[in-house]
């Protein structure tokens, strides 16, 4: 048995709300959201508003953090 056997992180890091939503959506919708996240024509507020009109709630700040890799996903 090596000295590092059984070494595990202290806690799991769960993905941010954006990634959790992507994982909940069907394949086509998930791809559409992923495409929108990298499309420079979408502002974070604009995308948040468009999603809200379709019954999906993601705050603009949450989207911005994900787009700028400042969310929990960047630590996974």
The answer, as to whether pTM is greater than 0.85, is no
Which position has the token pair 């502002």?
43
CB 37 within 8 A of CB 18: yes
Query: Which tokens in the block code for residue 44?
Result: 């974070």
Ranges of the chain with pLDDT below 70: 1
pLDDT at position 18, please? 98
DSSP 29-75: HHHHHHHHHH-TT--HHHHHHHHHHTT----HHHHHHHHTT-SGGGG
pLDDT at position 75, please? 77
């Amino acid at each position: 048995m090596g000295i590092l056997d059984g070494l595990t992180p202290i806690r799991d890091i769960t993905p941010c709300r954006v990634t959790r939503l992507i994982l909940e959506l069907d394949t086509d919708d998930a791809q559409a959201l992923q495409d929108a996240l990298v499309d420079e024509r979408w502002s974070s507020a604009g995308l948040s508003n468009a999603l809200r009109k379709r019954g999906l709630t993601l705050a603009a700040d949450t989207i911005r953090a994900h787009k700028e890799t400042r969310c929990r996903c960047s630590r996974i």
